[in-house]
Structure 1
């Protein structure tokens, strides 16, 4: 039975795209706790952008490395499997992200072996268990913010994609794919950071950790979006490349049939 399913090209393609989509969404959530400097990473001088009266550089969440891939996969799945396909995968990805963090929650509460705590002292980590807790034990507010941004962004991406396609038809793949991504990424960039780093800590902050001022939140939102905007434009040729691979794999007639069904749904 499984062999027969995998012989069906549309089904096999959906499984492959689903795996890439879910894996990237989950990994992006896990690595997103880190804020990194793009200029320092690339060995460049600080850009010193003046935003809202203050000077900022490209300090971004590590999750931005993968979210453009997630939104490209959204558009590809949307093209061939329609809104229902994207909604199904979005809800499944959200469920698996919550499941992963529940497992992290219990894992960090396991009593560590004595040797584990001091196992990386020579590498500059005095307490491995605390490091483990800080990396995997992201606050619930960050998770709530990120999942909210993810689901809202996905819904907006799907809606914008189909609205643009109804106007342009099969032409201008770049417009519906890149355009819908730019719109959804704008919402995603602001929602997650506002909930996780501005609203959340003002509601619940038992350890008295650093609370981001509104100007910092907005500036990082703008910087994250500038990066995502640039990446979305740069990845436009990749979208055409992936479309070409899929068209050759499915065959022109089957691909056209699937795209028509996706629009009707």
Structure 2
């Protein structure tokens, strides 16, 4: 009788913990790659709020919406596998996003066959994949450093509270790391890269205001995702019968 690889008796079958780690890593990679692809679309809506003179108009890229998912997954990875495993997933996601960027760049250089119904012409292809190269690079740098900061803060909070107050380490680490992410990606794209390339750059005041409006939305999403960490813990305990890494070993 042939034993299939998904049979638990198979010598190379994945354990429950390995299966969970694989799924969480896959979701993290997918969210990051999609965030960078969706980043070419902008959205705008009025909140009706006025905060410190800011009129409550939120303008940002659609690509920022999947990013909170990466921080949620990072928190779950840190919670159940520790900071080293969470960092490993961050490095894998970063590497796959770079790999996707390389393939897209190669695809842009290949001569296009136009005139076929249902396919894109070169201009449309460039509008989607070629118009935001610097933003893509800035987003990747911000993701890598922001995720590592998220893991660090999450671990510190977990140790300080002895593994209690899940909401504090989950929401607190995300709020802090996403503030850093917003400031870094905005500074790189509108100020850092233009200065490096000897191009006209935005003012630092513009950078701060733009980062702030983007962070407001990320902040709201982070708060709304707080119950998701509890739901994730419940689902993992029920489906995989796993317990979080003790605070002393975090």
Tell me which interval the TM-score lies in, with the shorter structure as reference length. Answer: 0.7 to 0.9
Quote the residue 2:234 is aligned against. Answer: 244
In the aligned structure 2, how far is the partner of 1:263 from the partner of 1:94?
29
Quote the residue 2:80 is aligned against. Answer: 80
How much does 1:137 deviate? 1.7
How much does 1:27 deviate? 0.6
How much does 1:223 deviate? 0.9
How much does 1:149 deviate? 0.7
How much does 1:6 deviate? 4.6
How much does 1:212 deviate? 4.0
Quote the residue 2:213 is aligned against. Answer: 223
Quote the residue 1:12 is aligned against. Answer: 19
RMSD of equivalent CA atoms:
2.6
Quote the residue 1:27 is aligned against. Answer: 34
Pairs within 5 Å for 1:1-265: 2-3=5-6, 4=10, 5-37=12-44, 39=45, 45=46, 47=48, 49=50, 57-115=57-115, 128-204=121-197, 212-251=202-241, 254-256=242-244, 259-260=245-246, 264=249
> Could you state the TM-score of these two structures normalised by the residue count of structure 2?
0.86
Q: Which has the higher helix share?
A: 1
How much does 1:8 deviate? 1.4
Contact kept in structure 1, 2:179 and 2:215, CA below 8 Å: yes
How much does 1:130 deviate? 1.4
How much does 1:65 deviate? 0.9
State the number of aligned residues.
Answer: 243
In the aligned structure 2, how far is the partner of 1:55 from the partner of 1:159?
34
Per-residue CA shift, 1:115-135, capped at 9, x if unaligned?
A: 15xx68xxxxxx831121121
How much does 1:217 deviate? 2.4
SS of 2:60's partner is strand
SS of 1:58's partner is strand
Structure 2: runs of 5+ lacking an equivalent: none
Structure 1: runs of 5+ lacking an equivalent: 40-44, 121-126
How much does 1:54 deviate? 6.9
